[in-house]
Amino acid sequence: MGTLHFDSSDLGVTEDFLSRHYARMRIGNGTPESSRARIRREAMPGVSVDELDLDFDMRYAVTPLQKICLCVVHEGTIQDHSFGDVVEDAFGPGDVVSFAPPELPYEGRICGARYNITMLDPGLLSQVAATAPGAAPGPVRLTGHRPVSDAAALHLKRTIVHVRDHVLADPEIASEPLVTSTAAQHLAASVLAAFPNTALIRPTGTDRHDSHSATLRRAVAHIEANAQDPLTVAEIAAASHVTVRALQYAFRRHLDATPLEYLRRVRLAHAHDELRDADPADATVTAIAARWGFHHSGRFAALYRAAYGRTPLRTLTGT
């Protein structure tokens, strides 16, 4: 985890800062009316979320970052953006895009823009996506740089804002491993839902055959024994000796839930036990919820009330 702040009106200092912390940049010639740059970065394992506000024009040329790099434009424009041999595009306010595949360089021009850059480890996509049985191993890839729909783009933007404002903005919450791993998976799932990609969704015949009750029992046992640790769907599937899709199909078939929904139920039960047994003088609902991966207090309270018919605070205080 980490936070980075930058605020300067010296174009030389800004150019050096951008080149050191992002990629090679060249601020345009001439004297802009304003030369101020404001940058804030929040980061957790596998994910960083940056807000940049630049009052001037500049060009950028980025060597392969080996990361998924998403951009949400708030104001201004990003022009002449290109990667690969044929892709060239321009982005304006409201646009959300994937800048380039992790292994490709890209370049373009920023024109007095305020925008968000969210970067994540490509391996997160494979953790939440199914892969075909017997296929050659390899990462899940995005196959387009524009979202599949306006609704998918809006959902992704809301997810980025949620991670930025409700996870990374609170150091106490961001220090909880279950919170950060869950938030990273949620972001990766939103990316896969937003952009065309190589992940397969429908279970194959083999997956359906493997989705029997024994698979479910192995998965449930693994979840219940390791609920205190960061868990991914891929790790649960590996412990159950089946593909991710077979695991998902087994849970849907037998429990009408996803593996992560069941994991959330188990963690909610652990939070309930801890609230019931804790001394209210030494514990808080927020701390116990975060310890079990629930970083949004309102959502935790709603889930808890639905499951136990009372608020978490009443359980903690014994009232």
Tokens at residue 39, please? 């940058």
**pLDDT at residue 250 greater than cutoff 80:** yes
Domain boundaries, the chain: 2-123, 263-317
Check residue 125 and give its pLDDT: 87
Contact status, residue 315 vs residue 198, Cβ threshold 8 Å: no
CATH class name, domain 2-123: mainly beta
**pLDDT at residue 264 greater than cutoff 60:** yes
| C-alpha pair distances (Å), 173 with each of 148, 281, 296 | 32, 20, 9
* pTM of model > 0.85: no
**Assigned fold of 263-317:** Arc Repressor Mutant, subunit A (1.10.10)
Tokens at residue 120, please? 């994540």
DSSP state of 264: H
Q: What is the pLDDT of residues 157-197, one digit of tens each?
A: 999 999 999 889 888 888 888 888 888 988 998 898 898 88
Tokens at residue 14, please? 């800004």
Q: Cα 155–157–159 angle (5° rounding)?
A: 70
**pLDDT at residue 101 greater than cutoff 70:** yes
CA atoms of 246 and 209, how far apart (whole Å): 8
| C-alpha pair distances (Å), 26 with each of 9, 23, 59 | 15, 10, 5
Relative to beta strand 37-44, strand 68-83 is unpaired
DSSP state of 141: -
